[in-house]
Structure 1
């Protein structure tokens, strides 16, 4: 009965649905982490400023280095040894990614729990929890993202896979709605139980879905091995079709990547994007508290918070249809221009238009996160270009995703550091000691009641609008130099499909 039920699930769930559902088990945890980890250590565990900055600095280094490290460990078998005889096929590559997800997915969920119980001094716990959590998140995210490039090459198939990721990520964002009901800085018990429930769901989900996918691709791998044996028997006495190539060392790979101009322009743009996304996540509660809390109800704030996390994923489904019609490059360019236009309009309107401010606070996060959701498609195209330019026998998908993260992940650490510094400069408000700083750009009013509130509110407003304006201008400049789109992109995809024709497979057929 159990085997029959298992086979039934195998038939009902497509590969794209199973692949997308993995995003659900990441997003239900990671959204809560991004929203509450800074507030938890600052307001609940009372971490001091020095420990916070030291922890973020060490995290910056670890966060940047672990992506290429894990990417190299994942893909070195494709690059570091000469390929003689039969090549590694796509199903075998996919099985390797799925094995990593089945092993490290549950560990990622368990590392999430270590954040919400005080088990060491705040500074030490902050450092260890961030590094442990990000280490497992990196392994999971690298292998899941690399599957996008390994499962399909055509733009339509990758868009289909990304569509399901967006759908399940939207469902995962419901955890933000629920978290607002349990979050209480004074009584942390209910929030801890909520986080335990999220971790349990994520652990079970990774175990089940990765097993389903592995079972599916093991069948495909067996078929490919049988085909290879038949071809070997038919070609007895003939010279091998593959030629021995020199091993690719990490030094050689870095030299190749340094000449990849589209990669360099992309990571320049993406560094700013990562900074802006995490800036919005880290300071969203602050903007709600000081810009809108006295003007809107608590339930309206909860709805605004939930919408800002769910809408990017739902909106991304529409963006993906635009990508199929106009191309990913053009859609991302439009989103940068839209971010710039909305920010300038909000600056001109001022902080007193509450309904307009609510719309802008939500839309700023929606369009910024929406852009992030499309970038994996661009990185997958860069995998194709790297494969063609350097004449690789197997695309090093996880390694390229890791190299992108090496350059762009520092934006995740810069966001809270620069944000808290800007807040102190513009308002004189230090979130660590709660007292105004003497040397700041804030203009302090004469009346006592508004002496802190007025400059704090105005400073938050300036942070809210000037950060996206600056980010949009920098991104439009870098994105205008990116050339992997249009006919050039189609040529790259045609070349990769031609080289790997015997090793690729149709996602819809599995």
Structure 2
């Protein structure tokens, strides 16, 4: 409604208004993701306990708001549809509760494997964003100029959108499943090559840091296509009157959005465990954030910190890729099965069964 009002006021096409809104939201979101850890630690000098409490509150609300609004959205839509059915004197269909819907979803095998894979993907996307400044500072800052670092940062945010123009055409030819699987293999291969090359290959390191974000973000943007297929399968499996699309998207977010919180928490823990570098540790004399442990000088810590950053940079995507390939191999909603689901959905929409359930 708001988009239509803006379109009328400024005489702009709705697509332009929607695209502009999406652009500005994306800019704010990405800037926040990139700098919020550094801002809270370096500017506001937040302590570790407060940071963890804040992340926990964020995890709870960030995970619950999507299924909540999805459920409300589907309820409003289906209630309006139910009113129309009553006015037309058509027999009412059996309604199910939210608890029954969740029980049905727990038996939806492809949904379960998808959210396992997507949780790891969300974690990796946000890990890349949260630690991008750290990787640039400790792996490349003394070997590239500030403008080159800014260029890498810009490319890593713009390229996924341009890449997806090609990925979408590739999905039409090969299928989403095959494209996503190929991106997982590519992520694994690039990480292994970087691990073997070592942290001293500057140009290769620049390419890897940028491409790691590009392909990871690109994968994230393709996964909504898979969710739409899961909506169709859910409708067919449970013979629903109307697809519960908003609620299913919300349930995907409920399970996968905790990855946004796990990324900074697990990343900082791994870095501290391996190198002794604690981003929350402060020098009591200057009251500023310090990477210097009590028993080591900054100069002695730097080589270990650099090595630790490099291992984080390569081992996190290797681990993520292996786990994702394992879970994705169990996902069966592609090829002939996907075609059958689409055909069954079409037949359900043309002629409903006598007793069909809605939420």
Same fold (TM over 0.5): yes
2:347, 2:15 → 1: CA distance?
24
* Counterpart residue number, 2:255: 407
Give the length in aligned residue pairs: 338
User: Equivalences for 1:173-322 in 2 at 5 Å?
Assistant: 242-322=90-170
* Counterpart residue number, 2:276: 428
* Counterpart residue number, 1:372: 220
2:328, 2:190 → 1: CA distance?
19
Q: Does 1:469 align with 2:318?
A: yes
**Structure 2: unaligned runs, 5 residues or longer:** 282-289, 352-359
* Counterpart residue number, 2:233: 385
In the TM superposition, residue 73 of structure 1 has moved relative to its aligned partner by 1.5
User: Equivalences for 1:109-128 in 2 at 5 Å?
Assistant: none
* Counterpart residue number, 1:86: 85
User: Equivalences for 1:306-345 in 2 at 5 Å?
Assistant: 306-345=154-193
1:435, 1:310 → 2: CA distance?
32
CA contact 1:79–1:248 (8 Å) conserved in 2: no
* Counterpart residue number, 1:72: 71
In the TM superposition, residue 25 of structure 1 has moved relative to its aligned partner by 3.1
2:252, 2:215 → 1: CA distance?
21
- Between 1:423-432 and 1:21-30, the stretch displaced more is 21-30
2:9, 2:161 → 1: CA distance?
31
2:84, 2:217 → 1: CA distance?
44
* Counterpart residue number, 2:302: 453
1:281, 1:7 → 2: CA distance?
37
1:449, 1:82 → 2: CA distance?
66
Over residues 215-255 of structure 1, what are the superposed CA-to-partner deviations in whole Å (9 max), with x where a residue is unaligned?
A: xxxxxxxxxxxxxx9xx7xxxxxxx5x43222221111001
CA contact 1:427–1:455 (8 Å) conserved in 2: yes
Q: Does 1:491 align with 2:340?
A: yes
- Between 1:50-59 and 1:466-475, the stretch displaced more is 50-59
- What secondary structure is seen at the aligned counterpart in 2 of 1:462? helix
* Counterpart residue number, 1:355: 203
In the TM superposition, residue 356 of structure 1 has moved relative to its aligned partner by 0.3
CA contact 2:155–2:210 (8 Å) conserved in 1: yes
* Counterpart residue number, 1:31: 30
In the TM superposition, residue 83 of structure 1 has moved relative to its aligned partner by 3.1
- What secondary structure is seen at the aligned counterpart in 1 of 2:85? coil
1:403, 1:416 → 2: CA distance?
23
Q: 1:476 to 1:16 in 2, by over 3 A?
A: farther
In the TM superposition, residue 57 of structure 1 has moved relative to its aligned partner by 1.6
In the TM superposition, residue 81 of structure 1 has moved relative to its aligned partner by 8.9
* Counterpart residue number, 1:163: none
2:91, 2:177 → 1: CA distance?
36
- What secondary structure is seen at the aligned counterpart in 2 of 1:395? coil
Over residues 368-399 of structure 1, what are the superposed CA-to-partner deviations in whole Å (9 max), with x where a residue is unaligned?
A: 00000000110111111112221222221111
CA contact 1:84–1:243 (8 Å) conserved in 2: no
In the TM superposition, residue 52 of structure 1 has moved relative to its aligned partner by 0.5
Over residues 275-322 of structure 1, what are the superposed CA-to-partner deviations in whole Å (9 max), with x where a residue is unaligned?
A: 000000000000011100110000000001000011111111111010
CA contact 1:309–1:366 (8 Å) conserved in 2: yes
In the TM superposition, residue 473 of structure 1 has moved relative to its aligned partner by 0.3
Alignment partner for residue 331 of structure 2, among 457, 479, 482? 482
Alignment partner for residue 265 of structure 2, among 417, 426, 432? 417
In the TM superposition, residue 338 of structure 1 has moved relative to its aligned partner by 0.3
How large is the Cα RMSD of the aligned pairs? 2.5
CA contact 1:78–1:394 (8 Å) conserved in 2: no
**Structure 1: unaligned runs, 5 residues or longer:** 88-228, 233-239, 503-510
* Counterpart residue number, 1:53: 52
In the TM superposition, residue 77 of structure 1 has moved relative to its aligned partner by 3.2
- Between 1:330-339 and 1:23-32, the stretch displaced more is 23-32
- Between 1:56-65 and 1:16-25, the stretch displaced more is 16-25
1:281, 1:472 → 2: CA distance?
17
CA contact 2:85–2:92 (8 Å) conserved in 1: no
* Counterpart residue number, 1:208: none
1:25, 1:369 → 2: CA distance?
17
1:435, 1:297 → 2: CA distance?
23
Q: 1:16 to 1:81 in 2, by over 3 A?
A: closer
- Between 1:488-497 and 1:72-81, the stretch displaced more is 72-81
